[in-house]
Each structure stands twice: as structure tokens, then as C-alpha cells.
Amino acid sequence: MTAGMAMTNLDRLNDIAAQLNDKSLQWAVFGLRADYYSVNRGFNSLGLNYYQEAIDFAKDNDMEIETAIALHQMGMYYYTYKNNAGAYPYLQDAYDKFSNIGFKEIPNIFSFINDFAVFYYNIGDYYNANLLLTEAIKYKAPNKRSEISAINSIGLIYRKYLQFPQALYYLNKSLNLAIASKDTAWIGIAGGNIGSVYLMQNNYQKALPFIRRDYNVSLKYNELENAAIALLRLAKINVQTGHIQMAAKQLDTVNNMINNITYGPSDILNQWIEYYGLKSIVYEHTGNLAAAVSYRKMLEVAKDSLAGKKNIAAFERMRLMYLIDSHRNLVNKLKSDEAVGFVKRNAIITMLFLLIIIFGLIYNRQLFKAKKEKEFLSIEKQRLDDELKNSIVELEIYTENLKQKNKLIEKFKQQLASIKENKANVYQLEELMPVNIMTDKSWDEFKVLFTKVHSGFFFNLKKHNPNISGADTRLLTLMRLNLNNREMANMLGITQEGIKKAKQRLRKKLELPDNETLEKFIAEI
């Protein structure tokens, strides 16, 4: 439905509400208009205007509950689009009004308090988040999942403070509710969190069944990030208990999972840090010190990046706390002397000041991110360079093995020439010779190694010469390795004269000018 059609229908609804003198319905229309623009256009001025009109309409008509709800909706609108500074004043004002009215008088009060708790949790104010969550669970939740999530969050807060008995109490309560509700997803999540608490206490025997169930449930519902976290915990237990090979296999699976998560790299830094650390330990145990050092370097880069991110978050949190304190002080001043104009003027100044700080933080964050990404790319480039060097060595070894086979073929030929009169032996030697030439299977193996070193060779060759045959491709590939006619003849199972004729045909097919050699043509591919 277009915006015009939606607003026309809402105009009709508003007319009906006005005819019925239904103030609540008129108020609800403002919220519906705001919700439409929020859903279809994201954060925008029209959405803000309609949410504000809902607040003003409720205030003008002495609708206390609706005023509180409209303030809460405005706060959640800012919060949904990552504007914590804009969200807080509205959320706090709404909470104060709910409290003054009486929580028991507010329909669905659980959701309003829980929303405010989630706001505090996500800005890192776990103390206030815990207070609000504890208050919220006193009231009926709209559904079991909301109740389970709130209780689980309380458990996670206690886990952050290393208060393990309290953490286990709430997490087990969350798990029991999930079991009673037959909510398989939350059974896995809550159980995984319980397992993480036991893991933090090094109680591997109790941790394992919970974490394994969390991993299996996460895979079932394709929750890759949660599955990766659970599998990292299992790998850590295996490292600690000496099951290094099992840990190595699990870490390979984790790597695939993390790379398939659709979030940006900065969103899963903790998982990468855990992964790099465990990989370095595994390689130390298996004696591959070079790989261990490489992963240790990547670990340090990721840790530095996370530290920078935490520093920025801490600075932003400090500024937000300053805004929160300023808001509280201004509200108190407003209550004492009703200096509305003064409050609005200073609120605007505070907001402008905060915006300047936020823009500065964003700019500094981008600089920091660019620096860390450069360091990470440097390490990745070194890894790719090492892989290329290894591929070159492997190709040289493979080529040398082919040359050794050539010498063996030459030996057979010499024997064949010396015993021409003995027919039985001749047949036997002629049966041996094809074993050493480049067969389809050995050619496929050779192509894999060759492509690692000369990655664009076959593509470019086919691009410029689409009609070139498979035999010609093999000949050009061997020439690219600077093999002589005799070596190529033995590998391809033809005579040296055949090689010369094949080269002449190739020159004509490729239409090379007289002054350009086949070798030069190959070097430029």
C-alpha cells in the first residue's frame, strides 16, 4: 500500500473517531501514522512528527497512560535506529509516568519495563538493567518467550559479575520455563549459558552436556553464531583436557561457520579472538611453531581491535551517562521552578554538544578501524605469500618427479633398442612405458599444482585462443616450465620430432608473427 492510500485510510479512521468523540482512537491514529513511516522509511522526520503529535495530543487531553505510552514509543523509535542519546530522555520520562500512575494500572507493563531494561543492558549499564528486569518479571509477560528471555538476561548479568550461584539460579529458572513451554530453541540457549558458567568454573563434566545440546539445537535452527560459540567452548574443553586432535577438527568447523555469518567482522571479534587463541595452542601442541606464531599475531591484532572498540564504547557510554545525569538534573530543575524555556534551550545546547562529540567519535572510530584492517590485511597477505611459496616448491618437486620418470623412460628405450631381437622382452617393456607418461589422472594432479602458482594461465589461454585443443594446452604448459623437447616428448608419449612438428602447427594456429617465438608468447600469458 502506498503512503497516500495508507494516510487516506487513516484520515477516514480519524474522522470516525472524531464523530464518536473517541479520544483514545484519535490518539492511536497518530501512532499508526508514525509506525507506517517507521516501517517503510526507517528513521525519518515524518515518523518523528507523528510520534510527537501523539505525545502532544495525549497531554492536551489529560490522557496520562497514553502520554506515557507515546513517550515510550518515541524513545523506542530512537533506540531502534541506534540513537541512544535521543532515546533515553523519552524512555526515562515514560518510566517515571508509569511509576507515578502505578505499574499495576498499566496494560502490558512488563513490555515497557523490559524495553527500558534492554536499553540499559545494551549500553553496558548492567546495574540498572538488572533492577528493571527484576521489576519487569513481577508482572505478566505477553508470552512465555519474553519471560524466558528476561530471566535469562538476569542470569547473564550475574555471570558478567562472576556471581555464579545467582547466575545459575536464574539461568536454570529460564531453562525450566523453556522446558515447560517445549521451546526447543530456548532450551538450547539457556542450557548453553548454564554450560558457559560451569566452563568458567572449570567444571568440564557439568558443562559438556549443556554445551553439546546448545550446539546441536543451534545447528538445527541454523543459528550459526550461537553454534560457533558453543563449538568454541567444546574445543576449549578438549584443549584443556588434552584432546588436541578433536579440538583441531572442531576449530576447522568453527572457521567455516564464522566465515558464513552475515555480520561484519567487528560484530564477531570475540569469536575470532577465541578461535585464534585456541588455534595457536593446538599448533603449539602439534609442534608447528610457525603456524602457532602466525595465529598468535592474528590474535594480538584482533585483541587490539576489540580493545579499541571497547574504548570507543566506553567513551560513548560515559558521554551517554553524562547526558542521563544532565537530563535528570534538568528534570529536577523543571519540577522546582518550572523554567520550561530555560530547560528547552539548554537541552538543545546539550544535544548539539553531544552530536559534535558523536561525529568526532565516528570519525576517530573509522580511522582506528582502517588502521586495524590494514594490519589484518598485512597478516593475511603474508599468509597468502607463504601459501604461494609452498605451491611453487610443490610444483618444482612434482616437475622434478616427472623428469625422473623421463630418465626411467629413456632407460627403457635404451633397453628396448638393445634387445630388439628378443620379442618377448620387447612386448614386456612396451607395456611398462605408458605407465610413466603423463596420463589424464597425472595431468589433473599436475594442473592443480600448476594453477596454484600460475593462477591465470589456463583462463587467459582459453580466453585468447578458445579453439585450442587439449593436446596443445598440455604442450604449452610444459613449455611454460622450460622443459626441453626430449623431456616433453617422454612426458607426452611422442617423439622429439613430434614435439617439433607440434610446435610448428601451434605457431600457425596461433598466427604468431615471424619475430615472435612460442616461448615469448607463453611468457606473456
CA pair distance 71, 104, nearest whole angstrom: 19
Q: Please provide the average confidence, as pLDDT, over all residues in the chain.
A: 83
pTM attached to this predicted model? 0.58
Select the more confidently predicted residue: 335 or 479. 479
Averaging pLDDT over each range in 290-299, 338-347, 397-406, 445-454, which range is the top one? 290-299
Residue 494: CA atoms inside 13 Å, Cβ hemisphere, count?
14
Neighbour-count burial for 68-85, b at 16+ CB within 10 Å, e otherwise: bbbbbbbbbbbbeeeebb
Is it the case that residue 315 has pLDDT exceeding 50? no
Interval 28-60: pLDDT, tens? 999 999 999 999 999 999 999 999 999 999 999
CA pair distance 86, 358, nearest whole angstrom: 12
Given a contact cutoff of 8 angstroms between Cβ atoms, the answer to whether 108 and 86 are in contact is no
The reported pLDDT for the residue numbered 372 is 66
Please compute the mean of the pLDDT values over residues 427-443 and round it to a whole number: 53
CA pair distance 86, 157, nearest whole angstrom: 25
Is it the case that residue 330 has pLDDT exceeding 70? no
CATH class, range 437-523: mainly alpha
What share of the chain in percent tops pLDDT 70? 79
Given a contact cutoff of 8 angstroms between Cβ atoms, the answer to whether 228 and 258 are in contact is yes
Given a contact cutoff of 8 angstroms between Cβ atoms, the answer to whether 246 and 253 are in contact is no
Q: How far apart are the first and last CA of the chain?
A: 56
Given a contact cutoff of 8 angstroms between Cβ atoms, the answer to whether 50 and 37 are in contact is yes
Q: Which grid cell is 370?
A: 582502517
The reported pLDDT for the residue numbered 158 is 97
Is it the case that residue 404 has pLDDT exceeding 70? no
How do the domains of the chain map onto residue ranges? 437-523
Nearest Cα to 175, choosing from 165, 186, 164, 185? 186
The reported pLDDT for the residue numbered 175 is 96
Interval 472-485: pLDDT, tens? 898 999 898 888 89
Averaging pLDDT over each range in 109-113, 339-343, 507-511, which range is the top one? 109-113
Neighbour-count burial for 162-185, b at 16+ CB within 10 Å, e otherwise: eeeeebbebbbbbbebbeeeebeb
Q: Which grid cell is 452?
A: 596454484
Distance, CA of 441 to chain centre: 39
Select the more confidently predicted residue: 155 or 368. 155
Give the torsion sign (CA, 191, 197, 200, 202).
negative
3-state helix/strand/coil string of 307-371: HHHHHHHHHHHHHHHHHHHHHHHHHHHHHHHCCHHHHHHHHHHHHHHHHHHHHHHHHHHHHHHHH
**Distances from the Cα of 159 to the Cα of 118, 130, 179, 241, angstroms:** 17, 12, 22, 24
The reported pLDDT for the residue numbered 103 is 96
Residue 23: CA atoms inside 13 Å, Cβ hemisphere, count?
13
The reported pLDDT for the residue numbered 418 is 58
Averaging pLDDT over each range in 94-103, 266-275, 307-316, 321-330, which range is the top one? 94-103
Least confidently predicted of 66-75, 247-256, 428-437 = 428-437
Given a contact cutoff of 8 angstroms between Cβ atoms, the answer to whether 248 and 288 are in contact is no
Is it the case that residue 401 has pLDDT exceeding 50? yes
The reported pLDDT for the residue numbered 223 is 87
Least confidently predicted of 175-184, 285-294, 329-338, 501-510 = 329-338
Select the more confidently predicted residue: 406 or 415. 406
The reported pLDDT for the residue numbered 363 is 74
Is it the case that residue 114 has pLDDT exceeding 50? yes
The reported pLDDT for the residue numbered 311 is 52
Is it the case that residue 431 has pLDDT exceeding 50? no
Please compute the mean of the pLDDT values over residues 9-37 and round it to a whole number: 93
Interval 204-251: pLDDT, tens? 999 999 999 999 999 988 888 889 999 999 999 999 999 999 999 999
Given a contact cutoff of 8 angstroms between Cβ atoms, the answer to whether 186 and 178 are in contact is yes
Q: Which residues contact 392 (CB under 8 A, 6 or more apart)?
A: 453
Is it the case that residue 148 has pLDDT exceeding 90? yes
